[in-house]
Each structure stands twice: as structure tokens, then as C-alpha cells.
Amino acid sequence: MAFNVNGLSTYVKENEKALIKDIVLGLKYEGSTIDKLAKQLGVKSKERLHPMSIDPILQDGSNCGFTASGSTEISEREIATAIIKYNDQWCDKDLIAKFAENQVRLEAGEEVLPFEAEITDGIVTGIAKKMEKLVWQGSKTGGDLIDGFLTIAEGADSGATVTGATATGASVYAAVKQAVMAIPDELIDNAVVFVSPSNYRAFVDELVEKNLYHFAPDAKQEDVDITFPGTNVKIHKTYGLSGKNDKIYASAYENMVYGADMLNANEQVKIWFSDDDDLFKAKVLFNAGVQTIYPDMVVVITKN
């Protein structure tokens, strides 16, 4: 097939690098947690993560001499990424005799995709939303391209992941509290509890009542992390857990790794006009995957 590459969308050509960052790193989607995760760039397919743990042993220093003590442990975790693509096409003539026919340019060599900026921004935001859910709920055995954080935490390779289950019918507040109490001491200073939007709203409602209405969230409360009372643990709403109201997940951003390439121009964002079939076509190509560094620094609570 022969394509008219000279008909590439001007908007995409001028903003390609920014669009790639927005798509792969979720920078333009306000509900994204991807942009907050630790990053491992340069991953083509699979790569080893080598977290290091140092245990210094303190000695009596009142005498001369040198005796080595302590231990340095380097463990290994593998992060695997999948090559992800999006393809679509449009026929601008479908707009003729419609409200937007003035956007259609039929002259040869003047092919311009109607609403190209709006369409491109919609693609970027749409992919970001899909990726947000994928990095949390993805399951390769369920037909998804990658395993998400929940699947990894509950999988066979999860190691010493801390898990628990609340009583049947327990409140969201009780489930979140159980997650907070189960967080390992080594993690507590940087810990974040992740909940679905529905659980977030229920948690806020219960918190208002439990504080005898002394806690009064403002109109923008849903955009703000809440600190669990008596701790510095943040409660964070993520759309990645939408539909998973039975799961509460806790860890730290630096323990949650998002892998992608981003270093060798392997990502693509293209929109072009094809002379072969008179269609505008779009192609987005990138790779992504997630992994936790220390599986024993993850808490998953199942709310029955």
C-alpha cells in the first residue's frame, strides 16, 4: 500500500513529542496515578529490577581495628512490558450534509482531518484512561496485555504480600483502617492507600460522621488526598480501581514501578491521509508494564 505521508496531520507533527509523553505517562489525564509512579525507562520487553537492601551492624568503636559487619542484599524482580497499539480511521465525507460539513476540504492535496486537534486530544485522554485501569486491574490470563498491580499482588509470585479480609458488610472506613494498620513499619512514612472513586466518597462520608461533622470537606475534596486520622498515611482516589470496590490497596509510589521505553523513539503517534482508500488513519504505538519492587511492602485488603 502507498500512503501520502505529506498529508500527516500538522497538529500531530508539531506536538508529537508532547503527545507521546501525555499518552505513555498519563500526564494529561487528571485522574492518572501513572505520572506519580516510579519509572523504569528504556525497557524494550523485559528488564530486571535490582532493589538493594543494606543492613548496617553497629559496633563498639572505642578500640582500634577494622571488622566488616552488616549485609548488603541485592534482590531481583522482573518487569515485563507489552507493545500496545491503537488504530482508527475516519472518512471525512461522512460529514457532508451534516453540521460540520464546512470542516471538509475535498480539494486534492488539501486533505485535512476535521477537528484534528479535538480528535487527537480525545485519543490521548482516552488511552490514558484505559491505561490507568490496565496498570491496576490488568490480567494477562484474563486476556489483557499486562498484569496490573492487583494481579501482581495477588499472584503466585507476590512473595510475602500482606493480605487480609474485612468482615462481611464492613464499612469502607473499617477496610481502609485495616489497610493502614497492616502497613509495615518500614513503609508507613511514605505509604498511600488507594481506593476506587466510590469507596473514596463512602470513606469521606463516614469520616464526616465519625468526626461529628468537625471534618467538613470542601467542594474540591475529591481532587485531594485525605490523611487518615492519627497518621500521615494518604488516602488516594484512583479511577484505576473503578469497579473494584471490594479491594483496598496500600503501598508507596517508589515501590510501584511503571516501565516503558521512551528513550529510543520507538513510540509513535501518527495521523495521515491514505490515497488508497481516501481515509484518514491514526496509529499510536508504545510499550508499558508495571511491577512492585518489594512485594512484602504491599497490603491488599478484600472488603467482603
Closest CA to 259 of 76, 43, 17: 43
pLDDT given for residue 5 in this prediction: 37
Confidence at 300, pLDDT banded by 50, 70, 90: very high
HSE-up (13 A, CA, CB side) for residue 77? 20
Q: Which CATH class is domain 5-52+72-302?
A: alpha beta
**CA 30 to mean position of chain CA atoms:** 11
Confidence at 118, pLDDT banded by 50, 70, 90: confident
Rounded Cα gap, residues 106 and 95, in angstroms: 12
pLDDT digits (tens, 9 = 90+) for 195-246: 999 999 999 888 888 775 556 555 455 667 888 988 999 999 999 999 999 9
Closest CA to 273 of 38, 51, 99, 116: 116
Q: What angle do CA 8, 11, 14 make, to 5 degrees?
A: 90
Closest CA to 263 of 1, 5, 17: 17
Indicate the SS3 state at residue 234: strand
The rounded mean pLDDT for the chain is 78
pLDDT digits (tens, 9 = 90+) for 123-163: 888 888 899 999 999 999 999 999 999 999 988 565 556 77
Percent of the chain whose pLDDT exceeds 90 = 32
pLDDT digits (tens, 9 = 90+) for 157-188: 655 567 777 767 778 999 999 999 999 998 99
Residue 36 has pLDDT above 80, yes or no: yes
pLDDT given for residue 96 in this prediction: 44
